[in-house]
Amino acid sequence: MKIPVIEVFGPTIQGEGMVIGRKTMFVRTAGCDYSCSWCDSKFTWDGTEKHHIQMMEAEEIMQDLREKGADQFGHVTISGGNPGLLPQIDQLIDILHDHDLEVALETQGSRWQTWFTKIDDLTLSPKPPSSGMKTNYQTLDFIIDSLKQKQRGKCSLKVVIFNEDDLGYAENIHQRYPDVSLYLQVGNDEITMDNDQALSLYLLQKYEELIDQVMVSTILKDVRVLPQLHTFLWGNKRGV
Amino acid sequence: MKIPVIEVFGPTIQGEGMVIGRKTMFVRTAGCDYSCSWCDSKFTWDGTEKHHIQMMEAEEIMQDLREKGADQFGHVTISGGNPGLLPQIDQLIDILHDHDLEVALETQGSRWQTWFTKIDDLTLSPKPPSSGMKTNYQTLDFIIDSLKQKQRGKCSLKVVIFNEDDLGYAENIHQRYPDVSLYLQVGNDEITMDNDQALSLYLLQKYEELIDQVMVSTILKDVRVLPQLHTFLWGNKRGV
Ligand code: SF4
Ligand code: SF4
């Protein structure tokens, strides 16, 4: 079964989350079951780039990765959209592993796929209230339980924070899943700003505000607070 | 045996390395067997703050941490100077663990201590040529071998990069210890600049240059490339 791919790029660094800074290639799949208000990759699901979606076999994706990254990479990140919608990612993971590549994947955790257990660095990023989406805790519980029993790699939770409500949501998530590493990420509410320096300085200020809030919390003790490094570096540009 | 402590502060975030972003308290010990040209904590060993050094029992350090961080933290970072010079850190680690706190520590790896095996997040940061120091590979080999056999926590290597020679040094380190996670960190060669915004933008540019170099390397495949987030946030200020 073919995979709907909207872009393949790299090598670059992973700018956020559990493998922040890691040299990696990106494969971005099309399609999402959510429509977050602040989604920074709407082009993967809103139809505006429909003509860019390529239906690719896993083997073709591997070839494309080699063409672009030659022998310069050891890690591939699958993002979206929501790649968790696609059962056929299974074959891609196997091929990547056959090539001795580690595999990271990010999904909001709205659907379970058996291949989640094979991902080396799995990020579950349930969406806080500001997104306008509702978390299905039954599904998320099931995913986290299943991973606890069967995952070969590592798993983390990531929550993007735009406001106080989101921080409260993150506290709930942390209390519900205390054994899963939690990453808090500064929300970028300026996704159309094109002055890169101004954006960096603005987001640094937001980052500092988030740090201040988290530092005084007695609930959010064992967490990491991170920015999106790619936004500091390349602003809102894509494919870097 | 008392521990020479130069500052205790936090909670704040760990700005660099393997637990980047982690909410943590800092305990900084005095004294170093190196004198790196670009050392950003010379005050720990150059005598200028001799009057600030307090000889503290491990239990007193624990009290100080609780006074400053109350119940807001779950992680403590021991840095220096070189805390690896001090056998008596052993007791401090045990007390921190008794309080259910995770412990991170950074040392250049010039001396072995048996308590290295108890550290949860151990960073070995051998110094590249630009530092003016010479790596004792016999010691470093011994440390890494011993950790492989006995460490309970995690271990990583971190190399700060100021120039091409340093990058070559990092490649050697990576080839010598391929199984140990390697973090490359942008060197800050403006440790006296006091315009924070200018410093952030300058270091972002240096970070991007380092990324560009690492991305084309076929040796540095499985690495992370990171900045010092605290410098982006707080410039060259101390104790934040
Ligand atoms: S889940 Fe992710 S890709 Fe889907 S709408 Fe939300 S932010 Fe966008
Ligand atoms: S080893 Fe660290 S503390 Fe010691 S001189 Fe070098 S940079 Fe400074």
- Name the closest-CA residue to atom 3, ligand 1: A81
> Which of A201, A215, A223 has its CB closest to that of B197?
A201
Residue A4 pLDDT greater than 80, yes or no: yes
| Cis peptide preceding A81, ω within 30 of 0 | yes
Q: Where are the domains of chain B?
A: 3-234
Confidence of residue A193 (pLDDT cuts 50, 70, 90): confident
| Cis peptide preceding B11, ω within 30 of 0 | yes
B3-234 domain in CATH 3.40.190.10?
Answer: no
Q: Taking residues A190-205, report their average pLDDT.
A: 87
Q: Taking residues A152-165, report their average pLDDT.
A: 97
Share of chain A above pLDDT 90, in %: 90
Question: What pLDDT, on a 0 to 100 scale, did the predictor assign at position A123?
Answer: 98
**Inter-chain residue contact A72 with B222, CB threshold 8 Å:** no
- Residue of A12, A13, A19, A68 to mutate, testing the B interface (most B Cβ within 10 Å of its Cβ): A13
pLDDT digits (tens, 9 = 90+) for B147-171: 999 999 999 999 999 999 999 999 9
Q: Measuring from each residue's beta carbon to the nearest atom of ligand 2, which residues come in under 6 Å? A: B 32, 34-36, 39, 41, 44, 80-82, 108, 127
Q: Taking residues B7-17, report their average pLDDT.
A: 97
Q: Measuring from each residue's beta carbon to the nearest atom of ligand 1, which residues come in under 6 Å? A: A 32, 34-36, 39, 41, 44, 80-82, 108, 127
- Here the tokens at position B113 are 């201590």
The Cα of B198 is separated from the nearest Cα of chain A by a number of Å equal to 10
Residue A239 pLDDT greater than 80, yes or no: no
Look at the pTM and tell me if it is higher than 0.90. Answer: yes
CA angle B232–B237–B240, rounded 5-degree value: 80
Share of chain A above pLDDT 70, in %: 100
pLDDT digits (tens, 9 = 90+) for B135-150: 999 999 999 999 999 9
**Inter-chain residue contact B224 with A75, CB threshold 8 Å:** no
Q: Strands A75-79 and A23-29, how do they pair? A: parallel
Tell me the H-state helices in chain A: 58-69, 89-98, 137-150, 164-176, 196-215, 229-234
Helix (H, G, I), strand (E, B) or coil at B118: helix
Residue A4 touches partner B, C-beta closer than 8 Å: no
Lowest mean pLDDT among A48-62, A194-208, B144-158: A194-208
Q: What's the helix, strand, coil split of chain A in %, to 5?
A: 40, 25, 40
Distance CA B240, CA B230 (A): 8
pLDDT digits (tens, 9 = 90+) for B42-87: 999 999 999 999 999 999 999 999 999 999 999 999 999 999 999 9
Q: Taking residues B178-196, report their average pLDDT.
A: 91
Residue B203 pLDDT greater than 80, yes or no: yes
Distance CA B15, CA B80 (A): 15
Helix (H, G, I), strand (E, B) or coil at B91: helix
**Furthest-apart CA atoms within chain B: distance in Å:** 49
- Here the tokens at position A68 are 């672009």
Question: What pLDDT, on a 0 to 100 scale, did the predictor assign at position B239?
Answer: 75
Distance CA B240, CA B237 (A): 7
Confidence of residue A190 (pLDDT cuts 50, 70, 90): confident
Confidence of residue A237 (pLDDT cuts 50, 70, 90): confident
Q: How far is CA A220 from CA A38, A140, A207, B26, B158, in A?
A: 24, 20, 16, 18, 27
Residue B240 pLDDT greater than 80, yes or no: no
Distance CA A22, CA A19 (A): 6
Q: Cα-Cα-Cα-Cα dihedral of A192, A195, A198, A199, to 10°?
A: 30
Mean predicted lDDT score pLDDT of chain A: 96
Residue B173 pLDDT greater than 90, yes or no: yes
**Furthest-apart CA atoms within chain A: distance in Å:** 49
Neighbours of A82 (CB within 10 A): 21
Q: Cα-Cα-Cα-Cα dihedral of B26, B32, B37, B41, to 10°?
A: 20
pLDDT digits (tens, 9 = 90+) for A74-127: 999 999 999 999 999 999 999 999 999 999 999 999 999 999 999 999 999 999
Tell me what ipTM this predicted complex has.
0.95
**Inter-chain residue contact B19 with A224, CB threshold 8 Å:** yes
**Inter-chain residue contact B20 with A19, CB threshold 8 Å:** no
Confidence of residue A195 (pLDDT cuts 50, 70, 90): confident
Q: Are A107 and A83 in contact (CB under 8 A)?
A: yes
Q: Taking residues B105-121, report their average pLDDT.
A: 98
Using CB atoms within 10 Å of the CB of residue A36, give its burial: 0 to 12 exposed, 13 to 18 middle, 19+ buried.
middle
Question: What pLDDT, on a 0 to 100 scale, did the predictor assign at position B191?
Answer: 80
Q: Are A183 and B21 in contact (CB under 8 A)?
A: yes
Instruction: Give me the residue label for tokens 């079964």.
Output: A1
Question: What pLDDT, on a 0 to 100 scale, did the predictor assign at position B189?
Answer: 86
B79 is in an annotated binding site: yes
Residue B217 touches partner A, C-beta closer than 8 Å: yes
The Cα of B50 is separated from the nearest Cα of chain A by a number of Å equal to 30
Q: Are B88 and B1 in contact (CB under 8 A)?
A: yes
The Cα of B224 is separated from the nearest Cα of chain A by a number of Å equal to 4
